[in-house]
Chain A
Amino acid sequence: DAGVIQSPRHEVTEMGQEVTLRCKPISGHDYLFWYRQTMMRGLELLIYFNNNVPIDDSGMPEDRFSAKMPNASFSTLKIQPSEPRDSAVYFCASSAKQGSPLHFGNGTRLTVT
């Protein structure tokens, strides 16, 4: 079991550019979560999916953020256009079913200049 795989590990981009973060959950896991972590705001839940369907996206900061899960083994979080305040570590996590432990990826450290 390779665990949750995120790419890239680091992303540096200029303000206004589009950023796409990728996540491969653990095979067989029904739930996928996207979190953002900063010193000021801690670990924020952005959106989560159940069986590829978005269940709650109320944590998505604004329309510049979008997330998709086209199949059970892949999800993307896109920011377009990116802004310096989007700089953070973005984590993807998956769990087998509701109530099961979360398994986090190593995260993507995003820096927007």
Chain B
Amino acid sequence: GQQVMQIPQYQHVQEGEDFTTYCNSSTTLSNIQWYKQRPGGHPVFLIQLVKSGEVKKQKRLTFQFGEAKKNSSLHITATQTTDVGTYFCISNTGKLIFGQGTTLQVKP
């Protein structure tokens, strides 16, 4: 798979604040998948983006795929303590390599 770089590695926010994590690649990506791993849990698939400029929403989560298909973002509006965990993005084209992800901490 095509490897992507994800930033930031860690983010601490106050409950109610917004949060964004970014994935970037130097090459055009065929797709982007986002996963969430709660502390002590396993990665769980959230969503897949395929089309240039695609935007998808899941309640307070907004996922975007860049026009050039080289970057993607996940934005959480008004974070809650249930949002705590590590968010991973990968490009799923065979060999699937996960980066370090972004670990989100939410202070109540």
Contacts and interface: CB of A to CB of B under 8 A. Distances in A.
Contacts of A56: 95
Interface string A85-113: 00000010101001111111111000000
Contact of A45 (B33, B43, B98): B98
Interface residues of B, number: 21
B68 interface: no
What range describes how many residues of A lie at the interface? 20 to 34
Given A42-B98, A42-B101, A99-B31, A104 B44 contact: yes
Interface of B: 30-31, 33, 35, 41-45, 48, 88, 92-101
Contacts of A99: 30-31, 92-93
Interface-central residue, B41, B42, B92, B94, by most chain A CB under 10 Å: B42
Interface in A15-68: 33, 35, 42-43, 45, 48, 55-56
Interface of A: 33, 35, 42-43, 45, 48, 55-56, 91, 93, 95, 98-107
Contacts of B42: 91, 104-107
Nearest to A50: B94
26 contacts: A42-B98, A42-B100, A43-B98, A43-B101, A45-B96, A45-B97, A45-B98, A48-B96, A55-B95, A95-B92, A98-B92, A98-B93, A99-B30, A99-B31, A99-B93, A100-B92, A101-B45, A101-B48, A101-B92, A102-B43, A102-B45, A102-B92, A102-B96, A103-B45, A105-B42, A106-B41
